[in-house]
Amino acid sequence: MAKMTSRQLANELKSRLTNESWSHQFDREKDTLRIEDKQTGKGITLELPPIIAKWEVKPDETIDEIVYYVKEALSAMKGEAQHISGKEKQIYPVIRSTSFPEASSDGIPLVFDEHTAETRIYYALDLGSTYRLIDEKMLQKENWTKERIRETASFNVRSLETVVKMDEVAGNRFYFFRANDGYDASRLLNESLLQEYAQKIEGQMAISVPHQDVFIIADVRNESGYDILGQMSMSFFASGTVPITALSFLYDEGKLEPIFILAKSRPKQQ
């Protein structure tokens, strides 16, 4: 199968995302495609290399997923103003990389908390098939505090269903959380879940959130376990629609420490 270029992917997405109200802007230098609603000025900017990497693994699904994601997101942006009061059970935390924008496309600051050197915690209002990130304007309009959003989201993430699969590789155990509800990586913020697994870990507990739709807990019992986790994290990071970080974290007594996986299976703390 021939490798797809960013321009080819951009052209394919343009042909699938046709609407009189939408404009398309391909940036060759940044390898991005922006789809914007001409009426609202709001839009989605897609980073193309991660999508290409995912397409190489799942060519039959990737383009369909991106098209669906963009259509739903633009539809949500154009809809009526969203309210958070009365929708407390629909507020969740979402993990993003520290390079993720701090403001919406129209310049309104998003609500977020610093988390680790690699990650931030944003907050989202679930709309069913998509969600909207909560911004400062929404808080001010409904007289909510950041602390209230944080506490509400923290409570809700603990109520998410746990769907986990365990694989054992070279004597190491890897637990994959894949509920496909848009909040898999958010389970990193469920401290009771982490404590539950910390009790059963026999080696070193490590964690990975390479993209928003996967969360990995590793029971590293020998040196090869670090290499395996590093390879898994990089593979998922490259294939995710919303990448977070290819680095893993050591977990110890409630603290997360980002690590590099170096040669000869020796982790190095940042």
pLDDT of 43 above 90: no
Beta-bridge partners for 91: 125
- Alpha helix locations (H) across 17-169? 48-57, 62-78, 136-142, 146-157
Q: Do 197 and 252 meet the contact criterion of CB atoms below 8 Å apart?
A: no
Reported as a single tens digit per residue, the pLDDT across 89-104 is 999 999 999 988 898 7
Beta bridge partners of 27: 32
User: What pLDDT is stored for residue 206 in this prediction?
Assistant: 96
Query: Can you give the pLDDT at residue 150?
Result: 96
Q: Return the higher-pLDDT residue of 153 and 131.
A: 153
The rounded mean pLDDT for the chain is: 88
pLDDT in tens, 180-236: 898 999 999 999 999 999 999 999 999 999 999 999 999 999 989 999 999 999 999
Distance (Å) of CA 132 to CA 94, 127, 194, 216, 250 = 11, 7, 27, 25, 31
Residue with tokens 């007289």: 143
Q: Which residues pair with 109 in a beta bridge?
A: 103
Q: Which residues face 123 on adjacent strands?
A: 93
Give the range among 49-53, 54-58, 184-188, 217-221 with minimum mean pLDDT: 54-58
pLDDT band at 69 (very low <50, low <70, confident <90, very high): confident
Per-residue pLDDT at 81 exceeds 60:
no
Flag whether pLDDT at 253 surpasses 90. Answer: no
Alpha helices in the chain, H assignment, sequence order: 6-16, 48-57, 62-78, 136-142, 146-157, 191-200, 224-239
